[in-house]
Chains A and B, each alone.
Chain A
Amino acid sequence: MGLLKHLERDFPIIDSDFQRFCASHGILSDCFDFTQFHLILALAIYPHAVEDFLFHDLYVLAAFAEAQSTSERLKQGITQVLTIIDGQHQTWFNGMELLENHQRRKRVLRTGCVGLDLLLEGGLCQGQLTELVGPSSSGKTQVCLQAASNVAKDIGGVVFIDTGNSVSPKRIVHLVNNILDPTPGEAKNRMFERIMRCILCHSVFNIFSLFNVLHELEANLRLQSEEARVQLIIIDSISSLITPILGSGSHGHALMISVGILLKKLANEYDIAVLVTNHMVGRDGGTLKPALGDSWKSIPNVRLLLSRVSGDNKCSMSIIKHPSVCARKQKMR
């Protein structure tokens, strides 16, 4: 009953009449009110209220409402709550709408690594979570930096979340210089500055601050303008944030899956490509396998394996998992 009392404080329309009505049907935490705004707010804050509400047979409730003196208002309230609940979930798409949405809004971002773009038949897909797995110093950070500079040059709007202080502006300068026209000039300098300003870097050092950053990003993405749209999010590396929490009970596991789901949701709703890197651990036979375990395997849409020939500048990349390209290998520098 504590929650209802709070509601009374916030929304004075919920007077003792309603509380008695609700209490008489065992709905201890419901939130009937008749202004749309209050209802939405209340439903967002007290999802338990929705559960309680939905558990009851609505026809029975309506019949009881009939018996009360303020029956009209109560019935209106019930229908309003139902429409709001319906509005909370995503709309249904049919195949054609899905295809149109995909073609119109979700682009393929070229990463600038010729081999990678060839392997992925285009580049990174917006709306998908791509994972780059590889042993240490196999070039994962380099691929991320290259993708960031290329996307910043082509379209703009890159968010780079860095867990190992490995974003080095000098290296980005070097990569950007490689892509731009070699002739120096004022226009080139301006373009250079524009590219560098498009790449936003943030350092996080534990999983909770990653959640903070992603939630803040989500809130700001709703308000973003078309020119300054975020196209690519890179997290390097997500495994160093997750490995410290895995293993001690199931909470770490739950957090890992929540991060994956949140990233995929951001990718899908706001047409962003997400690139994360993962490292490898040894398995029992002495070979290496990707870290983070079997439950993480199903979360990324695309998984790429990077391996480096020792003592050589070349590395080879192969696809482990992709929704539309079959597994292949590619050598690149």
Chain B
Amino acid sequence: MEIDTLPISASMRGKLISTGYISLASLSSISPSQLAQDFRVRESEAVEILKVASVNGRVGNSDGFVAGAQTAWDMLREEEFASRITTSCKEFDHILGGGISCKEVTEIGGVPGIGKTQIGIQLAVNVQIPVDYGGLGGKAIYIDTEGSFMVERALQIAEACVEDLLGKGTAWKEFRASQPKLSAKNLLGDIFYFRVCSYTEQIALVNYLEKFISEHKEVKAVIVDSVTFHFRQDFQDMTLRTRLLGNMALKLMQLPKKFNLAVVLKNQVTTKYSDGSFRLTLALGDSWSHSCTNRVILYWESNERCAYIDKSPCHQSASALSAVTSKGIRSSTSNCSRIKLM
């Protein structure tokens, strides 16, 4: 176990190695004040280094092979309680296996104007459906990078959602009376909205999200619209971009696992020249395509909006039709609205 593998700064690492502390065991017997004296650093920094070393140096854990690991059997039992967020469009939910999963990162991409932002707003509202109505009863975080979040539209969608829900509950009037006031304004009040204007703000926000969510445990959905906007223009250094994106992808990937929420990323399309023709693919290149668990591509098919599952570890490739109405995303009402399996 080497000092090399500790997450500490390069200068500190250099100092440790040059003085002879190359393995973690050598750090275990030294006190913070001694370390501070030897390297002429502040005592608080010495304490930090020793803390990192002791965390990494834990061995011989007899609790299974690896601490924090789960067997597939346990995961299966847990998955039965896993929740999904509905998209209000039955076919779309069907191809996703019930809705947007709360343990995965889903990426939605498509040409401009196809309804990606509408899906985002619909999900932000749907995640707040109370548990009694079959929803999650959680809050949402909406990170807006393009400025396409229209509050009036969100209000419209929220009102339509409330109408639908209350319409369902007409049979149980006394049940409905005991619910807290379900109104469009309350729904809007539970969406945390962040506006970012540059890529540094975006990265800072993603880093801060973990702390924010641990303070607001009711958050069940994080929607980023769109994750690629600030990275597409003005980047001279492509290697830096790859590194930043990789880091951001890992941090976003960690959130569903740790806090059991859904992360939905919105992406734009670009053209790619392959096999002699131009094809539409999602922006940010091949390396970004590995940063999501599921990928859904929206496209036009003869005046209908289609959603196509491009990448998923457990769902088949399939496409479904959907429509954007004044109430939000709903099932398509065309004659041939069926699910096409690819």
Partner-B contacts on A (CB < 8 A): 2-3, 6, 10, 29, 44-48, 135-137, 141-142, 145, 152, 159-160, 163-174, 193, 196-203, 205-206, 208, 211-213, 215-217, 219-221, 223-224, 230, 237, 239-241, 243-249, 251, 254-255, 258, 279-282, 286, 288, 291, 311
Contacts and interface: CB of A to CB of B under 8 A. Distances in A.
Q: Which 8 A-B pairs have the closest CB atoms?
A: A244-B246, A196-B73, A136-B289, A137-B311, A168-B314, A169-B76, A202-B69, A199-B72
B273 A254 contact: no
Given A254-B4, A255-B5, A241 B103 contact: no
B310 to A, nearest CB: 6
Contacts of A135: 286, 289
Given A200-B71, A205-B254, A208-B5, A217 B65 contact: yes
B181 interface: no
B150 interface: no
17 contacts: A44-B25, A136-B289, A136-B295, A137-B289, A142-B313, A159-B66, A163-B253, A165-B256, A171-B313, A196-B71, A197-B73, A198-B71, A202-B68, A244-B246, A279-B286, A291-B287, A311-B342
A198 to B, nearest CB: 7
A218 to B, nearest CB: 8
B73 A193 contact: yes
Given A135-B286, A164-B293, A251-B10, A171 B314 contact: yes
A333 B247 CA distance: 33
Interface residues on B, range: 35 or more
Contact of A248 (B65, B243, B291, B295): B243
B105 interface: yes
Contacts of B287: 243, 279, 281, 291
A46 B240 contact: no
A223 B65 CA distance: 10
Given A200-B64, A245-B243, A141 B313 contact: yes
Given A200-B64, A279-B286, A46 B26 contact: yes
Nearest to B342: A311
Contacts of B286: 135-136, 279-282, 288
B76 A45 contact: no
Contacts of B293: 164-166
Contacts of B68: 202
A245 B7 CA distance: 12
A241 B6 CA distance: 15
A286 B277 CA distance: 12
A198 B65 CA distance: 11
Contacts of B250: 163, 205-206, 240-241, 244
A197 to B, nearest CB: 5
Given A244-B250, A281-B285, A291-B287, A159 B69 contact: yes
B76 A247 contact: no
Interface string B41-67: 000000000000001101111101111
B249 interface: yes
Contacts of A282: 285-286
Given A167-B75, A244-B243, 6 more contacts: A45-B29, A48-B22, A166-B293, A171-B314, A216-B65, A281-B285
Contact of A247 (B7, B29, B242, B257): B242
Contacts of B247: 244
A46 B106 CA distance: 49
A311 B317 CA distance: 9
B146 to A, nearest CB: 24
Given A6-B30, A279-B287, A205 B274 contact: no
